[in-house]
Structure formats: structure tokens, C-alpha cells
């Protein structure tokens, strides 16, 4: 079954999520924007529709697998089939605190948002891409996955480390299938008007999608990747 020209942005927000969505809208993709907050999504949909793109909002919580499944069913119904691009951009840095101080239940929930949701989406969406022999599974990473930090960043470090492992092992598992797996590890805080501006970072996703860079991971240190 053919995939639809749909890009799912899971964790759609005003930063990297919106910037990545703009890149794929420019390539002719319709946008399935997924986040927890309906008001945020309504603003984004209006923004993209005003710019001439086709976009629709879908509500899901990365810590709630049932809500992810509902969003996937709704996306398939709206798009008329499975999407051909997934960009996983969800994350949480909460609970913030020293690793031994944070509440274990809240820490476990953060792992679902930062990593479990990524595996859940791959489990649901990869089979159609593999059957078609095409598609892209893309992930927004963080430098804390490579260089973990304490003093309040332990939760994010753990979650992004797990998510990086999911992306890279997935790339190994399905190598040669025609489905591209790409991890964009952003090694620095995003800020408008700098080399870490989301609008500067987002084109790196297209390089991973097109396969114009070698390997499944771009570590972005403020300089665009070259082939």
C-alpha cells in the first residue's frame, strides 16, 4: 500500500517542531501536528494554513499510549493512509532535580515522554513504511544523550540517552530496507538569531530525509552538516 505524502510532527511546538514542519511543507507534505495542548496546535495550524500549507491538529500525550494510538488512527483517516515521514520532537525536562531526589513515578513518566513514545510511534508506523520500502523516521536528539549532565539535568539526560539508543538501534535494524532513520542531535540550547536558531537547525532534517549525509546521526554543534 502506498504511503501518503504526510509528515507527522510529534511534539509540534513553536521551536524546532514548527521549523521542521515548515521545511516539509515546502517539500509539498501535508502536516499532521501532534501535541498535548489544543490551543498551541490551533495557533500552529492557523499559521501553516495562512502560509498555504495543509495542516491539521491532533492531540496526544507522550506518556499515554492510548492517546498516541488514537492520534495515529485519526491521522490515517485524515490522510487516507499511513504517513511517509515521522519527526519525533517530544521531550520533557521534568521532574528537574538531582537524580536521587526526583520522584521515581514522575521520572518513569518522563522516560515515556522522552523515549517510550518514540518507540511506540515506530512500532505503529514503521511496518507500513517497511512494506512500501520507503519513508523517513526522524528524531530530535540532545547533546545530553552523549554527554549526560547532573545538577537538574539528569531526567533529560536519561530520556534523551534512551531515545538516542532507540533511533540508532532502529537504524541498524532496518538498514537496507529503503526506510531512512535519522537522528538530529542538537548540542546546545536553541535561541533565535544564533547558530542554534530553530530555523537554522531544521534544514538538517531534510538532509537526513534525503540521505545526503552519511550515517544516521547529525551532531549539530552550530554548523550545518556536509555530505
Say if residue 1's pLDDT is above 80. no
**Largest separation between any pair of C-alpha atoms in the chain:** 49
Q: What is the pLDDT of residue 225?
A: 86
Report if residue 177 sits inside a domain.
yes
Can you tell me whether residue 171 is helix, strand or coil? helix
Enter the C-alpha cell of residue 84: 511517509
Q: Please give the mean pLDDT across all residues of the chain.
A: 95
DSSP letters, 123-162, are HHHHHHHHHHT--EEEEEEEGGGTS---TT-HHHHHHHHH
- pTM metric for this prediction: 0.96
Alpha helices (H) along the chain: 16-26, 38-50, 65-79, 104-111, 117-132, 154-173, 198-201, 203-210
Report if residue 17 sits inside a domain.
yes
Average pLDDT over every residue of 121-145: 97
Count CA atoms within 13 Å of residue 177 on its CB side.
Answer: 21
**What's 116's DSSP letter?**
I
Beta-bridged to residue 182, according to DSSP, are 138
Q: Are 184 and 209 in contact (CB under 8 A)?
A: no
Report if residue 225 sits inside a domain.
no
Report if residue 156 sits inside a domain.
yes
Range of the domain at 9: 4-220
Q: Which helix (H) or strand (E) holds 62?
A: none
Whole-angstrom CA distances from 106 to 83, 90, 115, 222 are 32, 16, 14, 32
- Residue 113 belongs to domain with CATH number: 3.40.50.720
Length of the chain: 227
Q: How many domains does the structure of the chain reveal?
A: 1
Q: What is the pLDDT of residue 226?
A: 79
Average pLDDT over every residue of 100-107: 94
Report if residue 160 sits inside a domain.
yes
Amino acid at each position: 500500500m502506498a504511503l501518503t505524502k504526510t509528515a507527522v510532527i510529534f511534539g509540534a511546538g513553536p521551536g524546532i517542531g514548527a521549523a521542521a514542519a515548515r521545511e516539509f511543507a515546502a517539500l509539498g507534505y501535508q502536516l499532521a501536528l501532534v501535541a498535548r495542548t489544543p490551543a498551541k496546535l490551533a495557533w500552529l495550524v492557523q499559521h501553516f494554513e495562512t502560509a498555504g500549507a495543509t495542516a491539521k491538529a491532533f492531540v496526544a500525550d507522550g506518556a499515554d499510549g492510548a492517546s498516541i494510538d488514537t492520534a495515529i488512527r485519526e491521522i490515517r483517516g485524515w490522510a487516507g493512509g499511513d504517513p511517509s515521514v515521522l519527526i519525533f520532537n517530544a521531550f520533557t525536562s521534568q521532574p528537574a532535580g538531582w537524580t536521587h531526589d526526583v520522584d521515581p513515578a514522575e521520572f518513569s513518566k518522563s522516560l515515556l515522554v522522552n523515549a517510550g513514545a518514540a518507540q511506540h510511534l515506530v512500532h505503529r508506523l514503521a511496518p507500513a513504511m517497511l512494506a512500501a520500502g520507503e519513508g523517513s523516521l526522524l528524531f530530535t536528539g540532545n547533546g545530553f544523550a552523549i554527554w549526560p549532565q547532573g545538577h537538574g539535568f539528569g531526567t533529560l539526560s536519561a530520556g534523551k540517552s534512551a531515545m538516542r539508543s532507540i533511533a540508532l538501534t532502529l537504524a541498524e535494524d532496518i538498514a537496507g530496507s529503503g526506510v531512512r532513520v535519522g537522528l538530529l542531535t542538537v548540542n546546545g540550547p536553541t535561541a533565535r538569531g544564533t547558530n542554534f536558531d530553530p530555523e537554522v537547525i531544521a534544514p538538517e532534517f531534510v538532509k537526513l530525509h534525503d540521505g545526503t549525509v552519511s550515517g544516521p546521526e547529525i551532531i549539530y554543534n552550530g554548523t550545518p552538516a556536509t555530505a
